[in-house]
A and B are shown apart, each in its own frame.
Chain A
Amino acid sequence: MAMMGLGVLCLILSFIFEPSQIASGGYHARFWSNFLHNAVFFTGMAFMITFVIAAFTVAYAGWYVVFKRIWEAFSQFLVPGLVIMLLIGIAVFLHFNHLYHWADEEAVAADEILKGKSGFLNKYWYLFGTLIIVGTWIFFARKFRQLSLQEDIDGDQVTNFKYHRELRKYAAIFLPIAAFTGPAMIWQWVMSVDAHWYSTLFAWYSMASWWLAACSLTIMLVIYLKSKGYMEVVTKEHLHDLGKFMFAFTIFWTYCWFSQYMLIWYSNVGEETIYYYERKSEYPVLFFGNLVINFVLPFLILMRNTTKRRMGTLFFTSAVVFFGHWFDYFYMIKPGVLINAEEAMGHGHGAAGHATEHAASFVDGFTIPGLIELGVFVGFLAFFLYFVFNQLSKASLLPKNDPYMEESLHHEVQPYE
């Protein structure tokens, strides 16, 4: 609770302490960008976990069942996630902020490119699209959990697969829906911060980031719960496989990151290249730091077999990766928001903001995460964990009657060690 208080305090502080460079605009860009950044990050984790539960169910995976309840608890965070995203949506609707260049009607009217995109990038779709799509996700996330809890009560591991069959049916329906709606939401929430720029790889890249964050948080949570004496049945073997997931998706993330960079760099289209030009020249810490924490460190640490089986090393790496992907979202959102705010100030409302000749100086809370940003992060994390523990306490930590329970209990990677 204290941490949540800290988060709220830091949000208020970020509202007051607007960096001097853009303070005269009165957009409260630091507050809104912090809010958007964390809201998107945690809501996305909940979405990605829902997606992974569906994917694992459809793929007949059994090993994850012993810690399935943690993921179900994660997925329920979509409900508060929707509320905070709707707050942002309403603020965009009523022009309380200037996160998105496309939300500025005068600017859109004077801008051919934004006019062309306005069928998707408009305030109505932002608000109601979020409501509809996240609402759909919530429906499935709640359905998955509800079926799993029902199974606890009157299911049976050996003879009664009724609930599991139904779960699989819903999971199969959810997968294609999630595959289309997930990227749509990412484009809307994150990519449209740079309204002129687009990248078809962006959704892959940021969804991999969400999943890595969720996976590393799962590992940390499992180790924490084990240290408290819960979840004894989750063994090194399960954590080893989670570690492998983290390792593999670290490489996948880097692959997406590099592909996006290289294609844009090589094709040399001005509108696209400017995105990377700005980030490399003015945010070198974000640009290269991102690569170091999210690729170099986990790659080198997790490469060996034994590091994935040692709780301490795994916990440390998970913490690095978790922070790293929060940092990754910082990098996706903050520079764009700053540019939007500066453009809006420099040219006044209504000017087509192609030029980006803003000063290459240090801007509090944008150039690198400041203490207030970290405070907001801690606050949101505390809220997320509070919610997750609350959900966990509502049901048995082990899904008693899941048909894959036996398989999961005997999951072995290196049994004779």
Chain B
Amino acid sequence: MKGQHKEVLFGLYNDEEVLMSAIKKAKKQHLDIMDVYSPFPIHGMDTVLELEESRLHVVGFIFGMTGTLTALIGISWIFGGSLMFDGDWPTLFGGKPYWSLPAFIPITFEMTVLFCAIGMVVVFYIICGLGFGVNNPILDDRITDDKFCIAFQTNGMDEADMDKLKGFFSATGAEEVHTKTI
């Protein structure tokens, strides 16, 4: 939908409980919700919205494994003795074997966490379309503060459907209803 303007009809709610029951009603009436905005994360919202489970943890796992392997292969390449490496700079510490796994565990662990964390943050930013020079349109400033919002996309919608949506908002206790083109 990039580049194309969206016409949006949105209702603002004062309370997250009201918002959640409104979402449930919308789902029951098979209304096509474009998005829901909230100043803070609400646990269980994704279940109610029937969103697909996020695949971010898969990304996390892949980055984590990359970190683990980087650490293990790196250490093995330096100290040698295992994993088909001869050792670029074999060093003896305390009479231990060149390749002594217990000593590598902390470093491997740290590398796993580092790769996983940085990788997930970057991917998360990419998925959400955040980043330098990006200007995300915002429906109403107050949804970053104390308002909860349900938004419907209304491109090419006729009057009857619009009225139905407005009726939905007034029936579920929305405080304000606005339209905006973004």
Q: Do A and B associate with each other? A: yes
Which residues of A are in contact with B by a Cβ distance under 8 Å?
A: 258, 261-262, 265-268, 412-417
Residues of A with C-beta under 8 A to B47: 416-417
Check A416–B95 contact: CB distance below 8 A. Answer: no
Q: Considering the chains assembled together, what is the distance between the CA atoms of A265 and B44 in angstroms? A: 46
Contact flag A266-B94 (CB < 8 Å), given A413-B43, A416-B42: yes
Check B95–A268 contact: CB distance below 8 A. Answer: yes
Check B96–A416 contact: CB distance below 8 A. Answer: no
Contact flag A268-B44 (CB < 8 Å), given A258-B105, A262-B103: no
Q: How far is the CB of A162 from chain B (nearest CB, A)?
A: 35
* Sample of 24 A–B contacts (CB below 8 Å): A258-B102, A258-B105, A261-B102, A262-B102, A262-B103, A262-B105, A262-B106, A265-B102, A266-B96, A266-B103, A268-B96, A412-B43, A413-B43, A414-B43, A415-B43, A415-B44, A416-B20, A416-B43, A416-B44, A416-B45, A416-B47, A416-B48, A417-B44, A417-B47
Q: Considering the chains assembled together, what is the distance between the CA atoms of A393 and B54 in angstroms? A: 46
Given contacts A258-B105, A415-B43, A417-B47, 11 further A-B contacts (CB under 8 A): A261-B102, A262-B102, A262-B105, A262-B106, A266-B93, A266-B94, A266-B96, A413-B43, A414-B43, A416-B20, A416-B43
Q: How far is the CB of A21 from chain B (nearest CB, A)?
A: 32
Check A268–B94 contact: CB distance below 8 A. Answer: yes
Among all A-B residue pairs, the 6 with the closest Cβ atoms: A416-B44, A414-B43, A414-B44, A417-B44, A262-B102, A268-B94
Check A267–B105 contact: CB distance below 8 A. Answer: no
Residues of A with C-beta under 8 A to B48: 416
Q: Considering the chains assembled together, what is the distance between the CA atoms of A266 and B45 in angstroms? A: 49
Residues of B with C-beta under 8 A to A414: 43-44
Q: How far is the CB of B91 from chain A (nearest CB, A)?
A: 14
Q: Considering the chains assembled together, what is the distance between the CA atoms of A267 and B102 in angstroms? A: 12
Q: Considering the chains assembled together, what is the distance between the CA atoms of A412 and B16 in angstroms? A: 15
Q: Considering the chains assembled together, what is the distance between the CA atoms of A245 and B42 in angstroms? A: 22
Residues of A with C-beta under 8 A to B103: 262, 266
B38-53 near A? 1/0 per residue, CB < 8 Å: 0000111101100000
Q: Considering the chains assembled together, what is the distance between the CA atoms of A267 and B95 in angstroms? A: 10
Q: Considering only CB atoms, which chain B residue lies closest to A258 in the complex? A: B105
Q: Considering the chains assembled together, what is the distance between the CA atoms of A234 and B37 in angstroms? A: 32
Residues of A with C-beta under 8 A to B44: 414-417
Contact flag A267-B43 (CB < 8 Å), given A262-B102, A262-B103: no
Would you list which residues of chain B between 89 and 110 have a CB under 8 Å from chain A? 93-96, 102-103, 105-106
Q: Considering the chains assembled together, what is the distance between the CA atoms of A126 and B56 in angstroms? A: 55
Q: Considering only CB atoms, which chain A residue lies closest to B44 in the complex? A: A416
* Cross-interface CB contact of B102 among A266, A268, A413, A416, cutoff 8 Å: A266
Q: Considering only CB atoms, which chain B residue lies closest to A413 in the complex? A: B43
Residues of A with C-beta under 8 A to B96: 266, 268
Q: Considering only CB atoms, which chain B residue lies closest to A417 in the complex? A: B44
Residues of B with C-beta under 8 A to A262: 102-103, 105-106
Residues of B with C-beta under 8 A to A415: 43-44
Residues of A with C-beta under 8 A to B45: 416
Q: Considering only CB atoms, which chain B residue lies closest to A265 in the complex? A: B102
Q: Considering the chains assembled together, what is the distance between the CA atoms of A265 and B43 in angstroms? A: 45
Q: How far is the CB of B41 from chain A (nearest CB, A)?
A: 12
Q: Considering only CB atoms, which chain B residue lies closest to A267 in the complex? A: B94
Q: Considering the chains assembled together, what is the distance between the CA atoms of A258 and B102 in angstroms? A: 9
Q: How far is the CB of B13 from chain A (nearest CB, A)?
A: 15
Q: How far is the CB of A308 from chain B (nearest CB, A)?
A: 14
Residues of B with C-beta under 8 A to A268: 94-96
Q: Considering the chains assembled together, what is the distance between the CA atoms of A415 and B47 in angstroms? A: 11
Q: How far is the CB of B182 from chain A (nearest CB, A)?
A: 28
Would you list which residues of chain B between 21 and 45 have a CB under 8 Å from chain A? 42-45
Q: How far is the CB of A276 from chain B (nearest CB, A)?
A: 11
Q: Considering the chains assembled together, what is the distance between the CA atoms of A258 and B93 in angstroms? A: 19
Residues of B with C-beta under 8 A to A412: 43
Residues of B with C-beta under 8 A to A258: 102, 105
Q: Considering only CB atoms, which chain A residue lies closest to B93 in the complex? A: A266
Q: Considering the chains assembled together, what is the distance between the CA atoms of A155 and B23 in angstroms? A: 42
Q: Considering the chains assembled together, what is the distance between the CA atoms of A382 and B66 in angstroms? A: 48
Q: Considering the chains assembled together, what is the distance between the CA atoms of A261 and B106 in angstroms? A: 13
Q: Considering only CB atoms, which chain B residue lies closest to A415 in the complex? A: B44
Q: How far is the CB of B146 from chain A (nearest CB, A)?
A: 20
Residues of A with C-beta under 8 A to B95: 268
Q: How far is the CB of B57 from chain A (nearest CB, A)?
A: 10
Q: Considering the chains assembled together, what is the distance between the CA atoms of A258 and B105 in angstroms? A: 9
Q: Considering the chains assembled together, what is the distance between the CA atoms of A345 and B45 in angstroms? A: 68
Q: How far is the CB of B47 from chain A (nearest CB, A)?
A: 6
Interface centre among B44, B45, B106 (most CB of A within 10 A): B44
Residues of B with C-beta under 8 A to A417: 44, 47
Q: Considering only CB atoms, which chain B residue lies closest to A261 in the complex? A: B102
Q: Considering the chains assembled together, what is the distance between the CA atoms of A295 and B48 in angstroms? A: 34
Q: How far is the CB of A293 from chain B (nearest CB, A)?
A: 20
Q: Considering the chains assembled together, what is the distance between the CA atoms of A416 and B45 in angstroms? A: 7
Residues of A with C-beta under 8 A to B102: 258, 261-262, 265-266
Q: Considering the chains assembled together, what is the distance between the CA atoms of A349 and B49 in angstroms? A: 75
